[in-house]
Amino acid sequence: MARIQIEGLGKQFGATTAVDAVDLTVEDGEFVALLGPSGCGKTTLLRMLAGLSAPSAGRILLNGTDITHASPKDRDLAMVFQSYALYPHLTVAGNLSYPLRSSRVPRARVAEQVAAVAEQLALTPFLSRRPKELSGGQRQRVAVGRAMVRNPAAFLMDEPLSNLDAKLRTATRTELAALHRRLGATFVYVTHDQVEAMTMASRIVVMDGGRVEQVGTPEEVYDSPASVFVATFLGAPPMNVLPATVTSADGRVRADGDGIRAELWPGQTPPHEVVVGVRPEHLVRRGPDGVDAGILLDARVEAVENLGSEEVAQCRVGDTPVAVRGPRPLRLAVGDQVSLTCSLADLHLFDATTRRRLR
């Protein structure tokens, strides 16, 4: 069992604040993904959990016990690195048994554990090979297996799939998610890949500049992003965001900008300057009769990309790039001047100053 509480955790590297006052509780058995762009502090946060980096501030509790300054081997947490960190001179069996042998587990028990883990990860045929005689995917499984033999309370994984090619990454994603369900252990998983986070995690922690921007289920962070940063980090293409100014007349509240007109919600009194957000898959071309629009954009189509089953039209509304995504054919052609619309329910609204979600 592993419940990890992180309280006010911070890390300074000289003048650089890598992790800034992070509060987070990972419940027992959860699969939590730390997601964010390069340099946002996710690896540093994970390394502090593993005991590989000393926090500058705050505490880490494992099942209620303060482990902030405990050594890595006393934490009952196993780390899986991006580089796999396998011993090149040892066989797969040697690599798998290493963590047990170094903690003086009886020989017969070591063999039993290694055989069981190899079986679970389909590594039995490769036990006598060395890492250089394995494919990337097999090496990755050995790295996971080496973490599993100790039967740790939690797994800490730092971009474990990033060295795999696209096809293998997809397959391994499914395997890891299944492994998590089977083991029922707590997983904390660092990635900059939103698809990995969305498909495997039960909760996603979106980070930026050392801080937590939002914590939520994949649905929550995608459907109700807490900030412009989260809105534009998730999605392919990401959410369109357009600056607008709020006006109120005749009991109607509107947001107007360059080529954009949005009807807002009655009774709402947003600040003067807002950012209106709409996902590319929610925008459609307005027919000749129009629809009951939440938003109306005057767009010029600049490029159309064929994704196979779908198309993405890259447009411009005033000076702002806006993407439209939908089933092929979208019936938008380069050079078209079109009106784009979406329903009120699909409109997101952010404060232009704080960049936080209003609705």
Q: Where in the chain does DSSP place strands (E)? A: 4-13, 16-26, 31-35, 57-62, 65-66, 77-80, 154-158, 186-191, 203-208, 211-216, 240-249, 252-257, 260-263, 273-278, 284-285, 295-306, 310-317, 320-327, 337-342, 348-351
Say if residues 159 and 85 touch (Cβ distance below 8 Å). Answer: no
For residue 24, what are the β-bridge partners? 6
What residues between 253 and 292 interact with ligand ATP by CB under 6 A? none
User: Which element (helix H / strand E) includes 94?
Assistant: helix 92-101
Cα separation values, 295 from 74, 235, 303, 338, 340, Å: 56, 20, 22, 13, 8
Say if residues 221 and 214 touch (Cβ distance below 8 Å). Answer: yes
Q: Given candidates 6, 26, 32, 44, which one binds ligand ATP under the rule CB under 6 A?
A: 44
Three-class SS state of 332: coil
Q: Which stretch binds ligand ATP (CB under 6 A): 33-41, 120-128, 143-151, 286-294?
A: 33-41
Q: Given candidates 32, 33, 42, 79, which one binds ligand ATP under the rule CB under 6 A?
A: 42
Provide, rounded to whole angstroms, the least separation between the CB of residue 157 and ligand ATP.
12
Provide, rounded to whole angstroms, the least separation between the CB of residue 4 and ligand ATP.
18
Q: Which 8-state DSSP code applies to residue 46?
A: H
Q: Does position 41 bind ligand ATP by CB under 6 A?
A: yes
Provide, rounded to whole angstroms, the least separation between the CB of residue 59 and ligand ATP.
19
Three-class SS state of 192: coil
Q: Does position 192 bind ligand ATP by CB under 6 A?
A: yes
Output the residue with the shortest Cβ distance to ligand ATP: 43
Q: Does position 36 bind ligand ATP by CB under 6 A?
A: yes
Q: Given candidates 16, 63, 128, 354, which one binds ligand ATP under the rule CB under 6 A?
A: 16
Q: Does position 194 bind ligand ATP by CB under 6 A?
A: no
Q: Does position 39 bind ligand ATP by CB under 6 A?
A: yes
- Closer residue to ligand ATP in complex, CB, 1/195: 195
Number of residues that bind ligand ATP (CB under 6 A): 12
Residues of this chain that interact with ligand ATP (CB under 6 A) are 13, 16, 18, 36, 38-44, 192
